A and B are shown apart, each in its own frame.
Chain A
Amino acid sequence: MSRLYTVDAQAVAAERAFRAIAILALVLPLCLLALLFGGTLIDGFSRLSFDFLSGFPSRRPEEAGILPALAGTMALMLLTAAMAIPVGVGAAIYLEEYAPPGKITTLIEVNIRNLAGVPSIIYGLLGLEVFVRSLQMDRSLIAGACTLALLLLPMVVMASREALRTVPRMYREAAWALGAEKWTGIRRVVLPMCLPGILTGVILSLARAIGETAPLITLGALTYVSFLPTSLKSAFTALPIQIFNWTSRPQAGFHVAAAAGIVVLLTMMLLLNATAIVLRMRLQKKVTW
């Protein structure tokens, strides 16, 4: 059969060339990253052991352990989530469901998007001045958690708003038409429908906040902690800070310990990501009204 169109050989060659270049542009950085992650994982796994996970920091690299940092990160994660999630989801509900269109609402929206772009180290300066000094929380766990909560807040608001927007307006209207008040409709109809979306977004944001190092360092979190946090007022350290500390030392032994710390941190991140995916799948199956 004769063709209905002519084939411009030059154009075909050019397109092929571009495809090849584009694939190269994708594969090259991914290969480099795979190499870097692979190298770190190999170094890290060789050092990973029960003693490493349950040990305290030491001046000798081969004895150094990560327990205080791990405990600190866990405590920070729980406290931060407990503060940022209710407030963030609340703000998202207000902006999506209640806020009357107008200047103030636009201001809040622009403001939240801007806050999401503020470098994390600036939050550290805010926390240092407000929580550590003015509110006299000192360089404690609670000061760190408050700072991370402020950092997490805009991310939670934006993720929750996106999830709330997926619920079609007619469901709200149906609830109101049945006589439900605004909040009743939101709580019994809208929230159950978009809970999987909210949870996924929130957990992913939490994973990101937990990896933050700069705000905690600015706050003055310690790098050498040989005890576990016992109260909100305890001094603390966290996994990213411990990794930073070990990386900054000249001895190669500490670099291996840092690699092992990175393996632990990335495992936590992957677990959080996996939790988000599993939650989404489970909750999507059975929506309880």
Chain B
Amino acid sequence: MSTEGASSYGDLPAVATDSPVGARNSMDRLYAPPALSERLIRAFLMFCAALSIGTTLGIIGVLFEETRAFFAQVPFSSFFGDTQWTPLFAEKHFGIWPLVGGTMLTTLIAMAVALPFGLTAAIYLSEFASATVRKWLKPALEILAGVPTVVYGYFALTMVTPLLQTLLPDLAAFNVLSAGLMMGIMILPVIASLSEDAIFAVPSSLREGALALGATKLSTVFRVVLPSAFSGIGAATILGVSRAIGETMIVAIAAGQQARLSLDPREGMQTMTAYIVQVSMGDTPTGTIEFHTIFAVGMMLFCMTMVLNLIAQHLRGRVLKGSL
């Protein structure tokens, strides 16, 4: 490259002529060290990437600090041993189980809807549907996954609950059943889309091998393809559960605000997320025990979803590495 050519492109540096070409045996010496601007840009980009670590540290730090303040006033044994959760009442109890129970029950109902429907849809899309159907349904699923959850909450409270009340007359106005059902519909596209990716990624040589041995299409799908995609489907399911546990607006709107340890989905129950919303809506002074509770509950929520996400990532990592 001529020096005139290089100077007309200010940001294209000329090949350094003063570098001792051939003087060292290291290849690094064949070009000049990066310009200062280049190093600054690199440093800035690195800072951007490191910011994500800062976010995680921030989340853990904030939750840890406030949770510590909470446990300075409430004993551990009460948090994990008590079966009542009434921090906003005069007579305070700090047992987390009613909130965890409410969360688990809604998650269970949601998964009971999302898993069978989502998985069947995924199998159909991957193995049976024509290319045109796939081309239209996949983006449709992704758009559905982007609908704000407050909209699903509105559906659950104003339409699904009245509809269900005609079938189940003793259904409460705020109940876990319709919140869970709606949450299942919300998570369905997530599970369908992720499982479809996993099933589609199974090498076609496996299908062809099974078919060549005389297996029918159905037994190929259920006895060869699905077992091979097991890790990916497992990851999709766990991510779905994690989404359900962390989902806030549907349960805050439709599941009610009584922290109650029960198994009856016709009643209203409060979830961990709904409790945080309830406290945030009121004017709770910072530094009070009520204020600390939302961080303790948040810590519980964070730990549960974190464990699930790590398991899901591990499973997906196995899929990527090919050792199904």
A interface residues (Cβ-Cβ under 8 A, vs B): 8, 11, 14-15, 18-19, 21-23, 25-26, 28-29, 32-33, 36, 39-40, 86-88, 90-91, 93-95, 98-99, 107-108, 110-115, 117-126, 128-130, 133, 150, 153-154, 157, 178-184, 204, 207-208, 211-214, 217-220, 223, 240, 243-244, 247-248, 255, 258-259, 262, 265-266, 269, 273
Contacts and interface: CB of A to CB of B under 8 A. Distances in A.
Tier of interface size on chain B: 35 or more
B7 interface: no
Interface in B121-160: 121, 123-125, 128, 137, 143-144, 146-151, 153-155, 157-160
B55 interface: yes
A211 B146 contact: yes
A115 B248 contact: no
Contact of A15 (B56, B218, B310): B218
A208 B245 contact: no
Contact of A39 (B50, B150, B159): B159
B52 A153 contact: yes
Q: Which applies to chain A's interface (DSSP): helix, strand, loop or mixed?
A: helix
Contact of A117 (B42, B146, B305): B305
B48 interface: yes
A269 B147 contact: yes
Contacts of A90: 44-45, 47-49
Contacts of A94: 42, 45-46, 48-49
B168 interface: no
A247 B154 contact: yes
Contacts of A117: 239, 242, 305-306, 308-309, 312
B220 to A, nearest CB: 10
Nearest to B127: A22
Contacts of A110: 313
B249 interface: yes
B52 A25 contact: no
Tell me whether chain B's interface is mostly helix, strand or loop, or mixed: helix
A180 B120 CA distance: 51
Given A26-B137, A90-B45, A243-B151, 13 more contacts: A22-B124, A32-B185, A95-B49, A98-B45, A107-B53, A120-B246, A125-B63, A129-B66, A179-B14, A182-B42, A213-B150, A218-B280, A273-B146
B11 interface: yes
Closest 7 CB pairs of A and B: A119-B246, A211-B148, A90-B48, A22-B124, A94-B45, A214-B248, A117-B309
Given A33-B144, A240-B148, A25 B117 contact: yes
Given A247-B154, A247-B157, A217 B280 contact: yes
Contacts of A182: 34, 38, 42
Contacts of B159: 36, 39-40
